[in-house]
Chain A
Amino acid sequence: MSQDNAALDPAATADSQATISAEIEAAHAGYARDLAAGGAEETQPRVNFPPYRSSLLRHPTKSLHHADPETIELFSPAFGERDVHPLEADLTIQHHGEPIGERIVVAGRVLDGDGRPVAGQLIEVWQANAAGRYVHKRDQHPAPIDPNFTGVGRALTGPNGEYRFTTIKPAPYPWKNHHNAWRPAHIHFSLFGTDFTQRMITQMYFPGDPLFALDPIYQSITDQRARDRLVATYDHSLTSHEWSTGYQWDIVLTGSNRTWMENEEEEH
């Protein structure tokens, strides 16, 4: 509700989409020039990305300091069947009735940077409903809450790193970064690896979303190939007859440091 912009979000601005888009284009053009001049390929979002206004005061200005991981950093917390029930991977059965919207399956694998499956680890997801509304008290978007949809799921990856959620396709929703700002539809993913240094949170998007070009969060990744890694693929083999459509999305974590550092110690 626009009159409450400042109270709800101190970072809310009245900038136009054209202003934001011009800033995004300038950042991307600069990256393209650097790349052509032999600069490094960017694979992660920039934490300093001014078109995402909330990032202005929340990004470190000094470069990250290189650290060689110590013992605790080479391991990760363990989660088990006591922590997560298999039915928590179905977001459509948490209430008495069927949620409204397009039922979908999202499935894939979690791998590490060496291509090894990350088995038995926790994946958490959360998302808006089919109207673009989150079950969160700070979400004031006047779209209906669905009493049959909370939008939270959890799972443990299988022996080959596989996961599978059943849910409802989320809708885009407005936010207050600038005037008439809309997020592309997405599902938030939270992931653990075998080393805690692989911990990550990201967002999965749907193919062909017309809002991609306009969104400063998605576009904070300046490289198109890297952006594409966040977009799921429609997969008809995951679609079930008269039941749901299916999307496939694999997630790659950073490389584990445990194996090679242990091997190196043994060689000494």
Chain B
Amino acid sequence: MSSAPELKLTPTPGQTIGPFYGYALPFPGGERLVERSHPGAVRLHGTVYDGAGVPVPDALLEIWQPDEDGAVASAPGSLLRDGYTFTGWGRQAVDNVGGFCFTTVNPGATEPGKAPFIQLVVFARGLLNRLFTRIYLPEDEAALAADPLLSSLPPERRSSLIARREADGSLRFDVHLQGENETVFLSFPRNGEA
């Protein structure tokens, strides 16, 4: 890949979400990308931990993903949640023990042979800028092995990006902001940082 073109403007700095977003950002149905009765509904759940292994009770998570066939949604209506439109985006504040639980579908591969994943962004009090990561599905091992990001990581870090499929079909993914099992967080081209 050739290098990305330089930016014309310097991006505005981020700041922490702070502690008081709870009455502003979460909205009814934010964690429900599909209804629980949807035939392909999957529970995506986990816990956000700090560097001492203590659950973080004041984080806000957003997910963004393709549908089951790998199509990228372009329909508005995420804040409305009419129960029929798949918009691909969800938002949830964690509970008081750091837990989150989205109802969604398994994302499909956006291109043949690509490893399917859900994009995740983490905001929290005490976190001065947002963090991006990916939640990969565990099943397609050939695609995971060929994935450019995963194959650039040492094995012990690679596993932090792959969700675990539980017996009930749900996906388990914990976020470790810091520490031994620290999640791999990502930077992308053209973010204005050296």
Bound form: Cα–Cα A11–B126 in Å? 9
- The answer to the question of B5 belonging to the interface, with a C-beta cut-off of 8 Å to chain A, is yes
Chain B residues, CB < 8 A from A254: 7, 11, 188, 190-192
- Rounded to whole Å, the gap between the CB of A230 and the closest CB of chain B is 6
Q: Are B12 and A253 in contact (CB under 8 A)?
A: yes
User: Total interface residues on B, using CB and 8 Å?
Assistant: 82
- The answer to the question of B10 belonging to the interface, with a C-beta cut-off of 8 Å to chain A, is yes
- Rounded to whole Å, the gap between the CB of B108 and the closest CB of chain A is 10
Annotate A248-265 by CB proximity to B: 1 below 8 A, 0 otherwise.
000111111100110010
Identify which of residues 1-37 in chain A touch chain B, using a CB-to-CB cut-off of 8 Å. 9, 11
Q: A82-B77, A220-B128 are in contact. Are A68 and B189 (CB under 8 A)?
A: yes
Identify which of residues 59-86 in chain A touch chain B, using a CB-to-CB cut-off of 8 Å. 59-62, 64-73, 75-84
> Which residue of the partner chain A has the closest CB to B64?
A196
- The answer to the question of A106 belonging to the interface, with a C-beta cut-off of 8 Å to chain B, is no
Q: A68-B1, A113-B7, A113-B11 are in contact. Are A52 and B149 (CB under 8 A)?
A: no
Q: Are B126 and A83 in contact (CB under 8 A)?
A: no
Identify which of residues 121-162 in chain B touch chain A, using a CB-to-CB cut-off of 8 Å. 121, 123-132, 134, 148-149, 152-153
> Which residue of the partner chain A has the closest CB to B60?
A201
- The answer to the question of A135 belonging to the interface, with a C-beta cut-off of 8 Å to chain B, is yes
- The answer to the question of A152 belonging to the interface, with a C-beta cut-off of 8 Å to chain B, is yes
| Stretch of A38-46, A96-104, A158-166 at the chain-chain interface | A38-46
Bound form: Cα–Cα A95–B28 in Å? 21
Interface residues of B (CB under 8 A from A): 1-2, 4-5, 7-25, 50-52, 54, 56, 62, 64-66, 72-80, 87-89, 107, 110-111, 114, 117, 119, 121, 123-132, 134, 148-149, 152-153, 177-179, 182-194
Interface residues of A (CB under 8 A from B): 9, 11, 40-47, 49, 52, 54-62, 64-73, 75-84, 111-115, 122, 124-126, 128, 134-139, 150-152, 188, 190, 196-197, 199-203, 217-218, 220-221, 226-227, 229-230, 251-257, 260-261, 264
